[in-house]
Chain A
Amino acid sequence: MNENIPANAPLEINIWLMIALMAVVTFGIRYALYARANAVSLPTRLEQALKYSAPCVLTAIWVPAVLFPQGELALNLNNPYLVGAAIAVVIGLWKKNILLTIVTSMLCFFAYKWLIL
């Protein structure tokens, strides 16, 4: 998980500025098209490419999260994240039901984590 940084670590970043910039970027992306909804139409090519955006970005987030839960590659059965994710992938591909995938894999994850401890 995360390293605790000592309270006296040099935090050069102004955190409120960071939050403000993150908010501007995030809202900007979500609202940009709505802002001029009557005038905007996306180029077809861009629309076709953007279709791949959510699945690819989400995958690039969750795959490392379950393979490197402590920062190092953990490709073994002692890694409950990997086991839980494998179960989620199987249920997700099989049933294509988001709620079922989340609930079942989380229950399996916590049960497995408790069992191997």
Chain B
Amino acid sequence: MSDTPNALFIKGVLDALPLIIGGIPFGIIFGTLSLNAGLDIWQTIGMSSIVFAGSAQFVAVGMLAAGTSLGFIVGATLIVNLRHLIYAASLLPHVKHLPQRWRIPLGFLLIDEVYAATYPHYLNNPQSDRNHWHYFGVGAAFFVSWNLATLVGIFFGANIEGIANWGLDFAMSATFIGMVMPHLINKPMIAGVLTSAALAILTHSLPHKIGLVISSIIGMAVGYSLEQWLRSKEQS
């Protein structure tokens, strides 16, 4: 049986490995940057294990280092993580049958990479009602690797001179590019993403990550409006 909870959990762990490769350098650089931004070791560990949101953690320590106030940091966390709502929406039909003791950890583990690794499994195995074991395997693998990488980063950051200049933060950009490019297959999505890119450059100098908020929301609006417009043109 390949449908046992154990087998599905292990398959989840294996399916997570490709994306973990991008996550490890990113976790390491988070650990080093976090210490530089003024967090202590326990706060850094706490952030990775309690918040568990790579890009939001990255944005938060950057804002902290720049002296931004608490309200703006929490607001940026909201905006940066809002995309997880769409992941939850698309997995919603698949977690409906589960009790809360499953939904709570599955919700906590719902990051970009977990969604990207487990959603195809759901699509390929629509007959199984045990796919949550796969989801859990992917999420657990990511949680463990993210926190281990953070620990390595804390250790390196405290002991290796100049690691902040190695360019490990490129791993975040590489991972995000890898996740965005496959979406660029229709005009509304291309227009939305290009709008966000252009506005993110133009608004870069604005304080408090306002530029991130503006460019994300306007990009989404452009994509959605173009989709509606193309649809209405088709119908007329």
Contact = CB atoms under 8 A, between A and B. Distances in A.
A38 interface: yes
A112 B219 CA distance: 32
A11 to B, nearest CB: 6
Contacts of B25: 106
Contact of A52 (B56, B167, B169, B189): B189
A29 interface: yes
A25 B81 contact: yes
Interface of A: 1-5, 9, 11-23, 25-27, 29-35, 37-38, 40, 42, 47-68, 73, 80-81, 84-85, 88-89, 92-93, 96-99, 101-103, 105-106, 109-110, 113
Nearest to A7: B38
A61 B96 CA distance: 32
Contacts of B95: 34, 37
A53 B84 CA distance: 9
Contacts of B176: 58-59, 61-62
Contacts of B167: 80-81, 109-110, 113
A63 B174 contact: no
Contacts, number: 293
A22 B219 contact: no
Interface of B: 18-19, 21-22, 25, 33, 36-39, 43, 46-47, 50-53, 55-57, 59-62, 64-67, 69-70, 73-74, 77-89, 92, 95-96, 98, 100, 103-104, 106-108, 110, 112, 116, 164-165, 167, 169-184, 188-189, 192-193, 195-197, 199-201, 204, 211-212, 215-216, 219-221, 223-224, 227
A94 B200 CA distance: 24
Contacts of A50: 83, 85-86, 89, 220
B51 A23 contact: yes
18 contacts: A5-B36, A19-B43, A23-B51, A27-B108, A29-B78, A34-B107, A40-B92, A42-B89, A47-B89, A52-B223, A57-B83, A57-B212, A65-B169, A67-B201, A68-B204, A98-B116, A101-B181, A102-B22
B173 A60 contact: no
A99 B64 contact: no
Given A19-B43, A38-B96, A2 B107 contact: no
